[in-house]
Structure formats: C-alpha cells, structure tokens
Structure 1
C-alpha cells in the first residue's frame, strides 16, 4: 500500500488568522526566534500498490480541484511519503530532532 502526501497553504496575499494567532503565542512560550507562521492543510492519500507517476498525477489533479480552493490556496507539495522520507532521512540533524510527541 502506498501513501501520497498533499500540502496546501494559503496564498501569500491571503490573511491567515490561525497562523497569526500561533505567531503571537510562540514568543510568549519561549520560541522568540520565529517571526511568522502560516498554517496550511496536509492530506495523506492511500492507494493500493505502489505510488507511480500516474498516481502522483492523479493526486495533483485531486489537490488542485478538490482538496484546495484555488482562489485562496496553493498546492505546495504532492509527494510519495515513503520516497520523501527516504530522501530526507540522511539530512536529519541533532538540531532538528526533538522528543517524540
């Protein structure tokens, strides 16, 4: 079974009240190094079998027509979760790892 991840974010010119609320809370909680937050949506789509280029193309089409509102949102990523994880596994550093939540 394969899985595809789709990330959707508000367009830069669209107000993001949830992101703004998080950005305001972070410094109060000791995370002052972050200056802006944009909150988006993540979808995980499961498919029978492997994730092929045809599956990724169908996921892209679904993302653009069903999973996002193209007037106010951009589809920023459509990827095979397994391939994406394998590509980033070697680039994880001690600074980017933390306790499991």
Structure 2
C-alpha cells in the first residue's frame, strides 16, 4: 500500500522537527549539560557570597567595636604596634630552635 506524497512529506517534516528539538535539548545553550554547568557555577557563587557575607559581618563588628570604646583600639595597638603601658613589664621570649 502506497502512502500519498503529502502524508510522506508531513511525516518527514515532523521527524525533522523532532530531531531539531532533541538536538536543542542535548546540545547548545539551554541543553541539559549547559543547565548542569550553570547550577555548578551558581553553587560556587553562593558559597563565595556566604564567605564574603561572613567576612563583612566580622568587619562590621570590628567597626562597631572601634566606634563604641577604646578596648578594640588598645588591642590593635598592642598587637600591631607593640603598645606597652607605663608600669607594665614587657618580656620578649625567643625560641632557640627557630631559624634566624
């Protein structure tokens, strides 16, 4: 039994359209692989944002401490500048095993 030419042409067009849609699903922008890559990038960026948000929170706490009192300023001066108050005794302990 022979199919009419229009039915064969319609079938060919539908098969071609199906193949094109499948190709778009598996390859190129918007494909499953592309979406999986974008999800990985999103997870990495969210982790980086969380790390930076924590750093910002710590910096904001330091700024608030500096605004509120002199304790934080004294702590920084002792640590970074070697502040020694009058009446205090400073001891420097050297490790003999450490390389010069």
TM range (shorter): under 0.3
Answer 1 or 2: higher relative contact order, Cα 8 Å, separation at least 6: 1
Compare CA radii of gyration and give the structure with the larger one. 2
TM-score (norm: length of structure 2): 0.19
TM-score (norm: length of structure 1): 0.19
Normalized per residue, which structure has more helix?
Answer: 2
